[in-house]
Amino acid sequence: MVKQKRIYLSSPHMSGNEQKYIKEAFDTNWIAPLGPNVDCFEREIAAYIGTKGAAAVSSGTAAIHLALQLLDVGRGDRVFCSSLTFIASANPIVYQGAEPVFIDSEPDTWNMSPQALKRAFIEAERKGRLPKAVIVVNLYGQSAKMDEIISVCDAYNVPIIEDAAESLGSSYKGRKSGTFGKFGIFSFNGNKIITTSGGGMLVSNDEEALEKARFLATQARDPAPHYQHSDVGFNYRMSNILAGVGRAQLEVLDERVKSRRTIYKRYQAALGGIEGIDFMPEMDGTMSNRWLTALTIDAHIAGISPMQMIEHLAKDNIEARPVWKPLHLQPAFEGAAYYPHQAGVSISDHLFRNGLCLPSGSNMTLEEQIRVIGGIMELFAKVEVTRALGLPVS
Ligand SMILES: *Cc1c(COP(=O)(O)O)cnc(C)c1O
């Protein structure tokens, strides 16, 4: 049998306008370093989300690393971080020689639990070891409970880094995602809602800090005719070519958000009635870009586990994935402190065990969306038939 065309979880979706900006860069030989596309892309992102400024860098990870450096996070310090996220949220904590402390999710947004965060702060204060920063993630495009989280962090005067790598274009109470912390970060990795093939952005209202970030991201070169460095910096700036790709991608961001939300709505309309399936919620007052459609399957009710579903779809060349494995369960962070939502109740463990992400790319055709939905329904139909015949459901 000829294999069907592969359907990816989230693949790059070009607008067609990227070549225009790349050509401009070539025509003016502004290949490197930096250049007008970088300056424009920074201004355009800042204008889109509503911050005073932005600094374009080589990845979302680099943006988090710079934010930690700017907040003076160093050896022996602690940083609180969402547990249910991609490992890049926390790796820069370790680059700085600091120690991550992981905070569980709550069920309404799947993001950082304000009550777990509060417990972590109370204990940290008692031990005289308050964190230097809190990294809050907006999973799959859904904003965390920002009001509650900000109120806890403000009470201890600890700055927030908003990891909005997955939530560009989303909003919380009418305000754009990425604007809630002292710093926000975005990623333009190939699988994100818009891409520069690889890249990231640090955003803030503190323009002085952003200027310092640009300085640190270009090897911390002091103003001198010779090569003079008073600081150890990084090589983290975005290239002028890639910023050109980003400018064209940003022009279609709102369309991309719309497409992904439409895909989610179709999944929800077709599958929402199946017993045991629950889609990732969208909290009142928030608008998620639905970067990835995520859901949980209760295997006891549905008769199917998420892994069975993933394997079933894989047979038809469809990529589905489990929800991020929580960082407190990662071997790389063995021994790190962890604060569950409630004593003995870890929401992120539950979401990891029962969750999966469906293909959600804005370039998926309607036919491809129907293929995914059909594949899922087929597996549920098999379970129905098995049950109707009185046979055991494996
Ligand atoms: C993708 C991602 C990052 C890292 O971005 P890169 O550009 O790949 O370095 C960080 N945090 C989250 C939550 C992400 O999804």
Q: From the CA of 201, how far away is ligand 1's center (Å)? A: 11
Q: 2 pLDDT band (50/70/90 cuts)?
A: low
Distance CA 82, CA 99 (A): 13
Q: From the CA of 107, how far away is ligand 1's center (Å)? A: 22
Residues 244 and 195 sit within 8 Å (Cβ to Cβ): no
pLDDT given for residue 343 in this prediction? 93
Nearest CA to ligand 1 atom 6: 60
Amino acid at 10: S
Q: Find how far residue 287's CA is from the centre of its chain.
A: 15
- Where in the sequence numbering do the catalytic residues fall? 192
- Give this prediction's pTM: 0.97
Q: What angle do CA 186, 190, 191 make, to 5 degrees?
A: 80
In angstroms and rounded to an integer, the radius of gyration of the C-alpha atoms of the chain is 22
SS3 content of the chain, % helix, strand, coil (to 5): 40, 15, 40
pLDDT given for residue 377 in this prediction? 97
Residues 110 and 378 sit within 8 Å (Cβ to Cβ): no
Q: Would you say the CB of residue 195 lies under 6 angstroms from ligand 1? A: no
Ligand 1 atom showing the smallest separation from residue 61 Cα = 9
pLDDT given for residue 276 in this prediction? 95
pLDDT, tens digit (0-9, with 9 covering 90-100), for 307-350: 999 999 999 999 999 999 999 999 999 999 999 999 999 999 99
Q: Which CATH superfamily is domain 254-388 in?
A: Aspartate Aminotransferase, domain 1 (3.90.1150.10)
3-state secondary structure of 180: coil
Ligand 1 atom showing the smallest separation from residue 199 Cα = 7
pLDDT given for residue 1 in this prediction? 56
Ligand 1 atom showing the smallest separation from residue 85 Cα = 13
Q: Would you say the CB of residue 186 lies under 6 angstroms from ligand 1? A: no
Q: Would you say the CB of residue 163 lies under 6 angstroms from ligand 1? A: yes
pLDDT given for residue 394 in this prediction? 65
Q: 23 pLDDT band (50/70/90 cuts)?
A: very high
Q: From the CA of 123, how far away is ligand 1's center (Å)? A: 29
3-state secondary structure of 289: coil
pLDDT, tens digit (0-9, with 9 covering 90-100), for 198-207: 999 999 999 9
Tell me which residue of 279, 241, 116, 249 sits closest to 186, measured CA to CA.
249
pLDDT given for residue 393 in this prediction? 75
What ranges do the domains of the chain cover? 18-252, 254-388
pLDDT, tens digit (0-9, with 9 covering 90-100), for 339-355: 999 999 999 999 999 99
pLDDT given for residue 30 in this prediction? 85
pLDDT, tens digit (0-9, with 9 covering 90-100), for 78-106: 999 999 999 999 999 999 999 999 999 99
pLDDT given for residue 35 in this prediction? 87
Amino acid at 262: T
pLDDT, tens digit (0-9, with 9 covering 90-100), for 103-152: 999 999 999 999 999 999 999 999 999 999 999 999 999 999 999 999 99
Q: 265 pLDDT band (50/70/90 cuts)?
A: very high
Q: Which two tokens stand for residue 150?
A: 């900000």
Is the Cα dihedral 56, 60, 65, 70 positive or negative?
A: positive
Rounded alpha-carbon distances, angstroms, from residue 173 to 139, 178, 187, 199: 17, 13, 22, 28
pLDDT given for residue 282 in this prediction? 98
Amino acid at 64: I
Percentage of residues in the chain with pLDDT exceeding 90? 93
Nearest CA to ligand 1 atom 2: 165
Distance CA 107, CA 105 (A): 7
Confidence check: pLDDT of 45 > 80: yes
Question: What mean pLDDT is predicted for residues 234-256?
Answer: 97
Q: Would you say the CB of residue 61 lies under 6 angstroms from ligand 1? A: yes
Question: What mean pLDDT is predicted for residues 346-372?
Answer: 98
Q: Would you say the CB of residue 82 lies under 6 angstroms from ligand 1? A: no
pLDDT given for residue 34 in this prediction? 80
Residues 40 and 248 sit within 8 Å (Cβ to Cβ): no
DSSP string, 217-280: TBTT--SSSS---SS---B-BPPHHHHHHHHHHHHTHHHHHHHHHHHHHHHHHHHTTSTTEEEP
pLDDT, tens digit (0-9, with 9 covering 90-100), for 267-288: 999 999 999 999 999 999 999 9
The CATH architecture one would assign to domain 18-252 is 3-Layer(aba) Sandwich (3.40)
Q: From the CA of 357, how far away is ligand 1's center (Å)? A: 16
Question: What mean pLDDT is predicted for residues 46-54?
Answer: 98
Residues 158 and 164 sit within 8 Å (Cβ to Cβ): no
Q: From the CA of 63, how far away is ligand 1's center (Å)? A: 10
Round the average pLDDT of the chain to a whole number and report it: 96
Residues 163 and 64 sit within 8 Å (Cβ to Cβ): yes
pLDDT given for residue 3 in this prediction? 75
- Best residue among 81, 86, 194 to mutate for probing ligand 1's pocket (most ligand atoms within 8 Å of CB) is 86
Question: What mean pLDDT is predicted for residues 48-66?
Answer: 98
pLDDT given for residue 4 in this prediction? 87
